[in-house]
Amino acid sequence: MTELHEYTALELHQLLQRREVSPVELARHYLDRIERIDPGIGAFATVTPEAAIARARHVEHHVPTAAPLWGLPLADKDLHRRAGVPARFGSRAFTDFVPDDSDELVVAVDTAGAVSLGKSATPEFGLPSYTEGLAGPPTRNPWNPALGAGGSSGGAAAAVAAGMLPFAPGSDGGGSIRIPAAACGLVGVKPSRGRVPAGSGLASLAGLGVAGPIARNVADAALLLDGMIAPAGYPPAHRHAVRAPGDDGPYLGTAIRGEGRFQLGVMTDSPWDDAYEIEVSEEARSALDRAIEVFDGLGHGIEAMAPSPEPGYPDAFRTIWQAGAATIPVDGEGEALLEPLTRWLLARGRAVPARQLAEALTWLAEFEERVIRRFASFDAVLTPALATTPPPVGWYDQQDGERNFAQQVQFTPFTSFVNVSGLPAITVPVEDTADGLPMGVQLIGRPGGEATLFAIGAQLERRVRRRHRHPASW
């Protein structure tokens, strides 16, 4: 007999619509799994069973079943406030903070009919690309708990991979959806800047941070993205919404059909290459080669892209990363509660001269234009998702900020420039290593090109025939 968590999110949606399972029954099933499994994973910052069951009952009796996420469980990332639920932002400095109101993204998924089971774990203020802070236990990779789950949406990815959620929203300012999704063998989507009105990125420094879905397969990711956008309508009736001619959602149908022939570029260089030793591991290269083989067999055009050095990128991005920490709402004695890396970033960020910040913003805006021109002849650009397999828990240097930054870059050199460019991207698992770790690739689209990415991702997913399974231990 198939257990509920073994179904995809789309299959659960269909069961709910046919009234073969109720929102309350589904919420209870996942809450039971969280209680049993999460102590070994650390995917949740907060679990709210009573509120979740009350919400599920409300959805069942008072929300129209036409709501796109009707009755489906998820969790809010602990960077997003939900009224009445602790919001710790991954930090000991906010242990007792309980907001009175909810963030726009939380309101959006509620409006779409979802049922929140709690808050997924995140590193302190979502700054690192791993989820191993002092405010809670480290978030471990369900495929091998000795390894990290990535970050900063590491809790969301670990929960989905271990079958504690069918899918989960995340946020991505430098790879924070795609990194943990790839590390945990999932599909992660970073939408175009402005695509999700409740997480547009336009209010963040350099327009980096956007909201998007993490899911077990391409169709489930499309289902959740549609639900995140749905309250604004299609095309989204929102001043921050991107409109790409002929490429509007909803995306679920496109992800299910997976149709079309496309011109794909293959990129193996990164804008970090002049500043750091970037090595693509055998496992990452094998996944990329497998994807190229599949796309070639499907009749897509494949073209290797010549390297395009960007020696100014590392300094410009470092400036923004550090300056972004300057706004952390902690001062005075409260700084002692921050983790060493965060304190280092805070001090560096608040010391960045205005001229240096302005020059970095200008440089990155010009870089965005160059990237879009470089990619213009392709429907999508293929890269490794990660440069290596996930590192062990505790691998990152928590005391030396410079070394920590270098470690993050060497693991994730292909993600941050996509945020700077405002482009959409999707990560798709392709194959497993000899040790059973999933490895995937990243596809980067044109501005507003999410539909094309869903179509290509669905084709890749079908052809590689990876089972949408959970690790055997869970």
pLDDT tens column, 113-156? 999 999 999 999 999 999 999 999 999 999 999 999 999 999 99
pTM for this one?
A: 0.97
- Give the pLDDT score at 464: 95
Q: How far apart are the first and last CA of the chain?
A: 17
Q: Is 152 among the residues known to form the active site?
A: yes
- Give the pLDDT score at 234: 67
Binned at pLDDT 50, 70 and 90, residue 242 comes out as low
Decide if pLDDT at 291 tops 60: yes
Binned at pLDDT 50, 70 and 90, residue 363 comes out as very high
Q: What is the domain-level CATH number for residue 266?
A: 3.90.1300.10
In a domain, 218, yes or no: yes
- Asked whether the bond before 250 is cis by omega within 30 degrees of 0, the reply is yes
Q: Is 153 among the residues known to form the active site?
A: no
In a domain, 233, yes or no: yes
Decide if pLDDT at 458 tops 90: yes
Classify residue 15 as exposed, middle or buried by CB count within 10 Å of its CB (0-12, 13-18, 19+): middle
Segment 453-459 mean pLDDT: 98
SS3 169: strand
Decide if pLDDT at 378 tops 90: yes
Of residues 210, 226, 232, 277, the one with CA closest to residue 421: 210
Segment 207-216 mean pLDDT: 97
In a domain, 471, yes or no: no
- Give the pLDDT score at 469: 78
- The Cα 225–Cα 175 span in angstroms is 17
In a domain, 164, yes or no: yes
Binned at pLDDT 50, 70 and 90, residue 238 comes out as low
Q: How many other CB atoms are there within 10 angstroms of residue 332's CB atom?
A: 6
- The Cα 289–Cα 318 span in angstroms is 31
And the tokens for 88?
Answer: 């710790």
- Give the pLDDT score at 247: 59
- Give the pLDDT score at 215: 98
Residues 6+ apart with CB under 8 A from 153: 77, 120, 122, 168, 170, 171, 172, 176, 177, 180, 181, 188, 214
- The Cα 285–Cα 378 span in angstroms is 21
Decide if pLDDT at 267 tops 90: yes
* Average pLDDT in the chain: 95
Cβ contact 97:133 at 8 Å: no
Cβ contact 408:393 at 8 Å: no
In a domain, 396, yes or no: yes
| Residue 115: its H or E element | strand 115-120
- Give the pLDDT score at 244: 57
Helix ranges (H only) for 265-382 are 282-297, 313-324, 340-350, 354-375
Decide if pLDDT at 85 tops 80: yes
Binned at pLDDT 50, 70 and 90, residue 474 comes out as confident
- The Cα 424–Cα 375 span in angstroms is 12
Binned at pLDDT 50, 70 and 90, residue 21 comes out as very high
- Give the pLDDT score at 143: 97
Question: How many domains are contained in the chain?
Answer: 1
Segment 343-362 mean pLDDT: 97
Decide if pLDDT at 235 tops 80: no
Percentage above 90 pLDDT, the chain: 93
Size of the chain, expressed as the number of residues it contains: 474
In the numeric block, the tokens 């710790």 are attached to 88
Amino acid at 148: G
Cβ contact 192:449 at 8 Å: yes
Catalytic residue among 77, 91, 116, 421: 77
In a domain, 144, yes or no: yes
Segment 372-386 mean pLDDT: 98
Binned at pLDDT 50, 70 and 90, residue 289 comes out as very high
Domain holding 160, by residue range, is 4-464
**Exposure string over 200-210, b if 16+ CB within 10 A, otherwise e:** bbeebbbbbbb
Q: Is 119 among the residues known to form the active site?
A: no
- Give the pLDDT score at 466: 76
In a domain, 473, yes or no: no
In a domain, 470, yes or no: no
Higher-scoring residue by pLDDT: 167, 234 = 167
**pLDDT tens sequence across 155-208:** 999 999 999 999 999 999 999 999 999 999 999 999 999 999 999 999 899 999
Binned at pLDDT 50, 70 and 90, residue 231 comes out as confident
Amino acid at 78: D
Percentage above 70 pLDDT, the chain: 96
Catalytic residue among 116, 129, 176, 192: 176
- Give the pLDDT score at 237: 66
Catalytic residue among 129, 152, 192, 416: 152
Binned at pLDDT 50, 70 and 90, residue 472 comes out as confident
And the tokens for 57?
Answer: 């009952």
